[in-house]
Structure 1
Amino acid sequence: MAPTAAYDEIADWYEQQFLGAAGARDGDPLGLDGVLRGLLGEGSGTCLEIGCGTGVHAARVRELGWTPIGVDLSAGMLRHARGRLPVAQADAGRLPVRDDSLPAVIAMMVHTDMPAYPQVLREAARVLRPGGTFVHVGVHPCFCGGFADRGDPDAVVIRPGYLDGHWTKASWTDQGVRAKVGATHRPLPELLHAFLDAGLTPERFSESGEPTPAVFAIRTRKSVEPSSSSF
């Protein structure tokens, strides 16, 4: 399924109904604010958000001192984002950004929308300066997916299927994004290996959402190549 068409079709619903229902405007039920503050931290310079969607995370980035910019494949989502941050329509697997040019890149709750996420991580590493920071905040691979029934938040049921990396529309609710556009699942080891394969070194980890985490996040850094010297 083409992500452009899928998110174009639901962009207005996402902005006007889903975000409000999820408490994005009136609260932070998943703890995304604390996770982003803890992993990205205060800084300066440009911070690129890959898959920025409607741009709802730009305010958090700006509060930390960074200058947010965003890219997304969906013109419909970007229509809502343009009032929140500078944006460009682009494929996350082929970012229109120079090599080694950015101090920070983030991806917020989007990796399941990107079947080629390992390539996206390689692109993030390419555009980061040596020593630059990449922060991934995503749905928790262990407790969210077509195999997880979160209908009772106090007793999440994990059925067989976690080990099967796949795309699915299966969901415990018909009110979420997964049921409308589907999602790609990667078990935790596969996801972590993708960061290592991209040349991104893990530094810190975080989980959020209670009582069973719904979010898994990681801060990584692009390695600084050792300078050559003569002996």
Structure 2
Amino acid sequence: MRSAPYDEIADWYETEFLARARGADVGGVRRALRALLGEGRGTCLDIGCGTGAHAAELRDLGWTPVGVDVSARMLEYAAGRLPVARADATRLPFRDASFPAVVTVMAHTDMPGYPAVLREAARVLRPGAAFVHVGVHPCFCGGFADRSDPGAVVIRPGYLTGHWTTDSWTDQGVRARVGAAHLPLPALLHAFLDAGLVPERFEEGGEPVPFVLAIRARRA
């Protein structure tokens, strides 16, 4: 398995990037995860778990988290927070219908093949079980979005096409270091439907312009 871009920034991500928001629910990520996943029992698979930043939240909801990520260095941090496996999210090392819940939190823009990831999420979900996606908002975040004014977002050409970019209005974020994939909203929603995941609830987070979009879907 090839080295992942996050291997090079794992220490910065854990000790600086995440530390800036320690204790704060930036963009309402935790609120969205709690609202859409809800309390439950059994194993919840966290796809793209990174350093395991959301393991405690999943446990608080009653779930037993298990994480997968392609970055070995990120998983060194995550291993102290939840059981982990190094794996490509487009080829998960789990049997069909293994999990009563699957989530991915602020990770889909790190996965250029996200439609394939959604198909894998649907495959390993039990029939009728929930998949929760919490990610950056496709309409207001990306290389096309200038968020340097806290009160407004300037949308420039580029939203309508899927792409990978390191363009960013700030050098303090992840995208400027490792890049990010973009799917316009219709393409993202169609990828859910094509994977056999039926969206049923939505949340937005961030003020005054949302930068988080969360979706709860059921395996058809």
Q: Which category describes the TM-score, using the shorter chain as reference length?
A: over 0.9
1:228 paired residue number: none
1:57-94 per-position Cα deviation (integer Å, ceiling 9, x unaligned): 01000000000000000000001001110000001001
What amino acid is aligned across from residue 200 of structure 1 in structure 2? L
CA distance in 2, matches of 1:42, 1:3: 36
User: Could you state the TM-score of these two structures normalised by the residue count of structure 1?
Assistant: 0.93
CA distance in 1, matches of 2:14, 2:151: 28
1:5 paired residue number: 4
For residues 87-98 of structure 1, the aligned pairs below 5 Å read: 87-98=84-95
1:60 paired residue number: 57
Q: State the 1:3 CA deviation.
A: 8.1
What amino acid is aligned across from residue 164 of structure 1 in structure 2? T
Q: State the 1:188 CA deviation.
A: 0.1
What SS class does the counterpart of residue 26 from structure 2 fall into? coil
Is the 8 Å Cα contact of residues 4 and 70 (structure 2) preserved in structure 1? no
1:111-159 per-position Cα deviation (integer Å, ceiling 9, x unaligned): 1110110000000000000011100000000000000011112011111
Is 2:161 the partner of 1:164? yes
Identity of aligned residues (%): 72
For residues 137-148 of structure 1, the aligned pairs below 5 Å read: 137-148=134-145
Is 2:194 the partner of 1:197? yes
What SS class does the counterpart of residue 32 from structure 1 fall into? helix
2:147 paired residue number: 150
CA distance in 2, matches of 1:191, 1:128: 19
Q: State the 1:5 CA deviation.
A: 3.0
CA distance in 2, matches of 1:127, 1:159: 38
Is 2:187 the partner of 1:217? no
What SS class does the counterpart of residue 65 from structure 1 fall into? coil
Which one has a bigger Cα radius of gyration? 1
1:179 paired residue number: 176
Is 2:31 the partner of 1:20? no
What amino acid is aligned across from residue 9 of structure 2 in structure 1? I
Is the 8 Å Cα contact of residues 45 and 67 (structure 2) preserved in structure 1? yes
What amino acid is aligned across from residue 36 of structure 1 in structure 2? L
What amino acid is aligned across from residue 141 of structure 2 in structure 1? C
Higher relative contact order (CA 8 A, sep 6+): 2
User: Could you state the TM-score of these two structures normalised by the residue count of structure 2?
Assistant: 0.98
For residues 69-108 of structure 1, the aligned pairs below 5 Å read: 69-108=66-105
CA distance in 1, matches of 2:96, 2:151: 46
CA distance in 1, matches of 2:161, 2:219: 29
Q: State the 1:20 CA deviation.
A: 1.4
What is the aligned-residue RMSD (CA, Å)? 1.1
Name structure 2 gaps, 5 residues minimum. none
CA distance in 2, matches of 1:35, 1:26: 16
Q: Give the 3 Å change call, closer, same or farther, for CA 77–176 of structure 1 in structure 2.
A: same
Q: State the 1:4 CA deviation.
A: 3.7
1:182-210 per-position Cα deviation (integer Å, ceiling 9, x unaligned): 01110000000000000001110110011
CA distance in 2, matches of 1:75, 1:51: 12
CA distance in 2, matches of 1:153, 1:81: 32
CA distance in 2, matches of 1:180, 1:98: 34
CA distance in 2, matches of 1:150, 1:85: 34
